Amino acid sequence: MRFFNTTGPVVAADHYCIPPLERLNLTEVRRFIRDKRYFVLHAPRQTGKTSALLALRDLLNAEGDYRCVYVNVEGGQAAREDVEQVMRTILGELASWARSTLSDEFLDEIWLDILAKYGPHGALREALTRWSEATPKPLLLFIDEIDALIGDALLSVLRQLRAGYVRRPEDFPQSVVLCGVRDVRDYRIQSTAENAIIAGGSAFNIKARSLRLGDFSQDEVLALIGQHTEETGQVFTPDALELIWTQTQGQPWLVNALADETCFYGVAAQDRGIPITADTIHNAQEQLILRRETHLDQLADKLQEERVRRVVEPLLSGSEDSDFSTRDLEYVRDLGLIAPNDPLRIANPIYAEIVPRELTYAAQVGLNEDTAWYVDADGSLNVVKLMTEFQTFFREHSEHWVRRFQYQEAGPQLLLQAFLQRIVNSGGRIEREYGLGRMRTDLLILWPQGDQTRKVVIECKILHKSLKQTIADGLDQSAEYMDRCDAEAGHLVIFDRREGRRWADKVFHNRRTSSSGIEIDIWGM
């Protein structure tokens, strides 16, 4: 039986998969190769880059017009800026791949002597020159994980490729593809030897184009899931299929991970007659987040970087103000954390869930709260009691807690979400909506009660204008969100962060009616 792949390149015999070459613009790629171009293929991690490169290599070698070799240079990362050791690693890997892919032992016989004679800053260029001269057909080189290299080691590789470019195709590879998370133009390479920051675009100004490998389309998601149904008979309900697309927006690892979790673990793995439902998908999503799977953990780790904070923080707070640069935005988009197109937003709802939960994890475990305190005898969640307790907690502890957050501008919203997550974790779930310029953060609590799911909206706003205007705007926005979510209750939280204000003036609770006639609880803090 095939299965959903969440680790490494896809193998069609083992994995359900979208054929990797179908995800490339093959006509464009062929034209670049024919025209002797050097170009870049980039995309976020675990998107399918390596699978595409390997499939392209095998296709071109099978056609017989070129001799194509793939090499992964990530092993050189451990040597950092030790250029000689990095070159030793790269040349050894290149010789190994040439032997296994093409049965070509030419590099095995010469690369050590070349390294000794030409040194680390000339060995790669000379090895590729001699290999190209000795091979009967044009040579193609695919270099994967190029941006795993750093500093002078990366500069040396790029400059040696550039130095040999004018000798192609007889005496140097006809076409070279650099593959990594980021576009080479976005590299900011700290050269220790030159005591300067070198732009990747200047070190590799022979690049013709940059191609980005996209996420799955909705049709591709359905086709991938459909392979499992066709082979096993196990069906996904229409709601489940729609939820997979909505929650992942086609991010390949997320699609495969959700499907793998639902189909190969738990009761559905034991009985293929059990359909996969939307509830199954929600449970699988929660398990992936709680286990802090490597893909998600790596993404969460990036939140600690300052250039990521500059982009993500105003999204969390809903602020109209931001201080990120174009380079910051390009970097965060290359990571896959932000959607590749406007409007500016987190790439998908699963990432949108992970971001605040990761940023508030320490706060969650540090809160001494018990879900049972807020559950009534009939099993319902007493949100008024919950919000009353949070209001008291916020008054007493917010200054201390908000200072602990790296994302201090979004601190009040994050603290509320940490408090709610601590309580709701034990029975329900929270859905979130936030983004740049929204001037609010929308939270939806879903709480199971009997055979029903109760929905409660909590909307957070920072007091920017007058309190009267903020309340008026917030009431209408909360009512609109309640209507869209079919929620039975709504709460509007207004954080007053103005200097010099007394808590006695900021803290209040009352109930107002929106212009559409919906009653909403208002909490001042």
Number of folded domains in the chain? 3
Q: What pLDDT score does 185 carry?
A: 76
Mark residue 375 as left, alpha or beta (left: phi above 0; alpha: psi -120 to 50; beta: remaining): beta
231 and 199 both lie in a single domain: no
Of 181, 153, 139, 158, nearest to 50 by C-alpha is 181
Which of 291, 311, 326 is the last residue in one of the domains? Answer: 291
410 and 483 both lie in a single domain: yes
Q: What pLDDT score does 125 carry?
A: 98
Q: What pLDDT score does 363 carry?
A: 82
Question: Residue 159: inside a domain, yes or no?
Answer: yes
Which of 146, 177, 212 is the last residue in one of the domains? Answer: 212
Most distant CA pair in the chain: distance in Å?
84
Record the tokens describing residue 283, joined without a space.
């449970």
Specify the residue for token string 């939270």: 443
Alpha-carbon span 41 to 211, nearest angstrom: 5
229 and 95 both lie in a single domain: no
Of 514, 470, 516, nearest to 493 by C-alpha is 470
Of 187, 167, 189, nearest to 38 by C-alpha is 167
351 and 203 both lie in a single domain: no
Backbone angles phi, psi at 450, to 5 degrees: 65, -130
138 and 272 both lie in a single domain: no
59 and 189 both lie in a single domain: yes
Of 384, 521, 520, 381, nearest to 452 by C-alpha is 381
Amino acid at 308: V
Q: What pLDDT score does 366 carry?
A: 79
Q: What pLDDT score does 320 carry?
A: 81
Of 138, 129, 143, nearest to 89 by C-alpha is 143
Of 227, 228, 293, 302, nearest to 254 by C-alpha is 293
Q: What pLDDT score does 266 carry?
A: 84
Alpha-carbon span 357 to 346, nearest angstrom: 14
Record the tokens describing residue 335, joined without a space.
């990571």
The 10 Å Cβ neighbour count of residue 355 is 24
CATH of residue 70 = 3.40.50.300
Element holding 261 (H helix, E strand):
helix 252-264
281 and 380 both lie in a single domain: no
Q: What pLDDT score does 424 carry?
A: 85
Of 190, 176, 179, nearest to 132 by C-alpha is 176
Are 132 and 173 in contact by the 8 Å Cβ rule? The answer is: yes
285 and 382 both lie in a single domain: no
On the 0-12 / 13-18 / 19+ scale of CB atoms within 10 A, 498 is exposed
Alpha-carbon span 17 to 13, nearest angstrom: 10
Query: DSSP alpha helices (H): ranges in 18-82?
Result: 26-34, 49-63
pLDDT in tens, the chain (525 residues): 899 999 999 999 999 999 999 999 999 999 999 999 999 999 999 999 999 999 999 999 999 999 999 999 999 999 999 999 999 999 999 999 999 999 999 999 999 999 999 999 999 999 999 999 999 999 999 999 999 999 999 999 999 999 999 999 999 999 999 999 988 877 878 889 888 888 877 889 999 999 999 999 999 999 999 999 999 999 999 999 999 999 999 999 999 999 999 999 988 999 999 999 999 999 999 999 989 898 999 988 999 999 999 999 999 988 888 889 998 999 999 999 999 988 899 999 999 999 999 998 888 887 888 889 999 999 999 999 999 999 999 999 888 888 888 898 999 999 999 999 988 877 899 999 998 888 899 999 999 998 899 999 999 999 977 999 999 999 999 999 999 999 999 999 999 988 888 999 999 999 999 999 999 999 999
CATH of residue 270 = 1.10.8
48 and 183 both lie in a single domain: yes
Alpha-carbon span 264 to 260, nearest angstrom: 6
Are 524 and 491 in contact by the 8 Å Cβ rule? The answer is: no
265 and 332 both lie in a single domain: no
The angle subtended at Cα 431 by Cα 430 and Cα 432, nearest 5°, is 120
3-state secondary structure of 32: helix
On the 0-12 / 13-18 / 19+ scale of CB atoms within 10 A, 436 is buried
Are 456 and 489 in contact by the 8 Å Cβ rule? The answer is: yes
Question: Residue 312: inside a domain, yes or no?
Answer: yes
Query: DSSP alpha helices (H): ranges in 47-137?
Result: 49-63, 83-102, 106-118, 123-134
Question: Residue 469: inside a domain, yes or no?
Answer: yes
Question: Residue 323: inside a domain, yes or no?
Answer: yes
Of 107, 112, 12, nearest to 69 by C-alpha is 107
Question: Residue 8: inside a domain, yes or no?
Answer: no
Count of H helices and E strands in the chain? 21, 15
Alpha-carbon span 79 to 69, nearest angstrom: 23
Which of 291, 314, 335 is the last residue in one of the domains? Answer: 291
Are 474 and 449 in contact by the 8 Å Cβ rule? The answer is: no
Task: Give pTM, 2 decimals.
Answer: 0.92
Q: What pLDDT score does 30 carry?
A: 98
Question: Residue 136: inside a domain, yes or no?
Answer: yes
Alpha-carbon span 461 to 472, nearest angstrom: 12
Are 288 and 82 in contact by the 8 Å Cβ rule? The answer is: no
176 and 153 both lie in a single domain: yes
Q: Which residues contact 93 (CB under 8 A, 6 or more apart)?
A: 71, 72, 73, 75
Question: Residue 448: inside a domain, yes or no?
Answer: yes
- Whether the ω angle into residue 169 lies within 30 degrees of 0, i.e. cis, is yes
373 and 304 both lie in a single domain: yes
Cα dihedral across residues 255, 261, 267, 271: positive or negative: positive
Q: What pLDDT score does 62 carry?
A: 98
Question: Residue 7: inside a domain, yes or no?
Answer: no
Q: Which domain holds residue 243?
A: 218-291
